[in-house]
A and B are shown apart, each in its own frame.
Chain A
Amino acid sequence: MIQSLDIISVNIWSILISLVNLLLLFLILKKFLFKPVTKVMNERQNQVTAIYADAEKDRQAAADMKQEYETRMAAAREEADGLVRDAVQTAQRKSDSIIADANSQAAHLKQKAEMEIELEKKQMLSDVKTEISDLAVSIAARIMEREVSQQDHADFVEQFIENVGENK
């Protein structure tokens, strides 16, 4: 028959056993729960710190790279601007000179042409004059049938031509 204890009973060995039990559980928890978990958490902390440091380094490198890129970009832009400006200037100059050339040439040609025209006109006028004077002399000789001195004749014709020119 199994007995049961009184509801309050004191037993030294029982107290000792429970004391040892608590110590045992303390050691168990320390060895099997706190040690591995703390170890893992510390490791993770270290890793996170390392990752943060890496990220900081990367960020720094990226910032540096960006800085460099920006300076380079600015330099390139300036260079391009300069090039364009130079090209525009050259082109301007060239076009100016071309236009000036063309203008001078045109003026030259015009002058030449005018001169030629003038010359031709003069030639023609003198030609016509001699022709007309000759004609007039012959006509006059024929009409008048009288000899006129060469000098009188010429004066007369010239006068006539003048008159013709005026009447016209």
Chain B
Amino acid sequence: MSKAKKDKMIDILLLCMIILPFVFCMVLKVLTTPGSEGISITGALVYFEIPMPLMPLQITEVQVTSLAVIISIFSLCLYMTHGIAVVPNSKRQLVAEYVVEKVNHLIHDNMGSKYASFAPFVAAIMGISAFSSFSSLLGLFPPTSDMNIVAGWAILVFVIITHYKLKGGIFPYVKGFFEPVPIFAPFNIIGEIATPVSMSFRHYGNVLSGVVIATLINSALGGLSEMILGWLPGFLGDIPFLRVGIPAVLSVYFDIFSGAMQAFIFAMLTMLYVATGFPEEEYEKRQAKKKKKALSAAQ
């Protein structure tokens, strides 16, 4: 087989791998959604449970869609960097370079050049958040409207923030809670804990409000079309014609704009929290002390 043909085959395979996970999720959703009447605003469907200590692990739509998102982004990365060359010979390479350059610029502008290794992490947050929110365009249950998912990300971000704060030593970190006066300690601790909570609630609430409003509008449109077009003979009367198209206008705001906005904000807040939480002076002092100690030990 010639090389060009092989490349083309790999391209097609990767393209399929980008789309197929979502198709699989949609099929699964269509097959398993129970028929229901009226409004039902619920969480994700639970496919099965795995008994675990503390509480059973529920494998839900959300887990499946998250996995699909990861596979899809993975395939997209492979597709964009497949056949990458020093002299760009394809549009997808330009897209990949544009993305990388944009994220690097964002990091550089908001955090400074010494955080350059944060670029893939910020890109990962943006990608997973945006793709998860956009998956509701396909009729899936968006993973970002499940609190557990967003809370997981926020907790990871919180761990990273705390890690960077601890780089200045444990004592200054603990001391930071008793400032400006020791009485403020509980408030400071609450403020510290509020960081992941507010981050996750902001993202989750935004997406969830979109889902709730979309569901309400959908059911209202169903009732309206039954009232107006119910006189049509046979099964034609049962089809909610008004549901076609109108909710799409709403999803432009709630899914695309809001989703992209929240992804950007989540990434932005991560960058700002990490960059502002890092105690530079303490860190440098500590490094200098360590160096001195190492020098004296060597002598």
Complex contact flag A–B (Cβ < 8 Å): yes
Q: Which of A54-99 contact B (CB under 8 A)?
A: none
Chain A residues near B208 (CB-CB < 8 A): 7
* Nearest-neighbor residue (CB-CB) of A43 within chain B: B86
Give the size category of A's interface with B. Answer: 35 or more
With A and B bound together, what is the CA distance between A1 and B48 in angstroms? 11
Q: Which of B12-54 contact A (CB under 8 A)?
A: 32, 34, 41-47, 52, 54
Asked if B77 is at the interface of the complex by the 8 Å CB criterion, the answer is: yes
User: How many A-B residue pairs lie within 8 Å, measured between CB atoms?
Assistant: 148
Chain A residues near B85 (CB-CB < 8 A): 40
With A and B bound together, what is the CA distance between A23 and B74 in angstroms? 13
Kindly provide the distance from the CB of B165 to the nearest chain A CB, expressed in whole angstroms.
Answer: 19
Kindly provide the distance from the CB of A2 to the nearest chain B CB, expressed in whole angstroms.
Answer: 5
Q: Which of B52-99 contact A (CB under 8 A)?
A: 52, 54-55, 57-58, 60, 62-63, 66-67, 70, 73-74, 77-78, 80-81, 84-87, 93, 96-97, 99
Chain B residues near A2 (CB-CB < 8 A): 32, 34, 45-47
With A and B bound together, what is the CA distance between A19 and B121 in angstroms? 12
* Nearest-neighbor residue (CB-CB) of A30 within chain B: B120
Asked if A151 is at the interface of the complex by the 8 Å CB criterion, the answer is: no
A22 touching B44 by the CB < 8 A rule?
no
B153 touching A19 by the CB < 8 A rule?
yes
Asked if A21 is at the interface of the complex by the 8 Å CB criterion, the answer is: yes
Report which residue of A12, A22, A36 has the largest number of chain B beta carbons within 10 angstroms of its beta carbon: A22
Chain B residues near A28 (CB-CB < 8 A): 70, 73-74, 77, 124
Number of interface residues of B (CB under 8 A): 56
* Nearest-neighbor residue (CB-CB) of B120 within chain A: A30
A-B interface, 4 closest residue pairs, ranked by CB to CB distance from nearest: A18-B152, A5-B43, A14-B148, A30-B120
Taking Cβ atoms with an 8 Å cutoff, the residues of B that contact A are 32, 34, 41-47, 52, 54-55, 57-58, 60, 62-63, 66-67, 70, 73-74, 77-78, 80-81, 84-87, 93, 96-97, 99-101, 119-121, 123-125, 127-128, 143, 146-153, 155-156, 208
Further 13 A-B residue pairs, CB within 8 A, beyond A1-B34, A7-B43, A10-B147: A4-B44, A7-B41, A13-B57, A14-B148, A18-B143, A18-B153, A25-B127, A28-B77, A29-B120, A32-B74, A36-B84, A37-B100, A40-B86
